[in-house]
Amino acid sequence: MPGSTPTHFAYRTPLGRVTIASDGQAVTALAFGEQELPGEARATELTNRAANQLQEYFAGKRRAFDLPLAPAGTDFQKRVWAAVERVPYGETRSYSDVAAAIGSPRSCRAVGAASNRNPLPILIPCHRVVGANGSPAGSGNSAKTKAFLLDMERRTANEG
């Protein structure tokens, strides 16, 4: 439905409140905590579907998401996010690996910036992009969230 009113709805996850936004055709944003997103606050088939897939992911029953995504970003950011979507569940890549994958091997810092601006965390798994030494890069809550997700994926991947 082009031109439909953007919507968002908050759901509970093991990481706390997550708000999922949609433009009626695709998921456009996912925000942690009390962050407000534009649009009308109401659940839709698409936000509910995204929430259900997130619950399956946190329960270890889903390794990939089957949702239409429409993240807003620059062409460079979208190239980074597309490369990140190809990182397999339970695995990681360094910022330099992603930079090389998009044909821009000297853009490690820009890859990091694009990862930090990802409007669809978890759905576009930028938590799988780590520092050269393998440690989750980031600060404060983002580093803790990244470590939580990586640990969860490694445990689940090792189970089968």
Residues with a catalytic annotation lie at 126
Distance, CA of 126 to CA of 124 (rounded, Å): 6
From the list 94, 97, 141, 99, the residue with the least C-alpha distance to 121 is 141
List own/partner pairs for 32-39 with CB under 8 A and 24 or more apart.
32/121, 32/141, 32/145, 37/6, 37/8, 38/6, 38/8, 39/5, 39/6, 39/7, 39/8
- In whole angstroms, how far apart are CA 29 and each of 3, 10, 35, 87, 129? 17, 12, 11, 20, 19
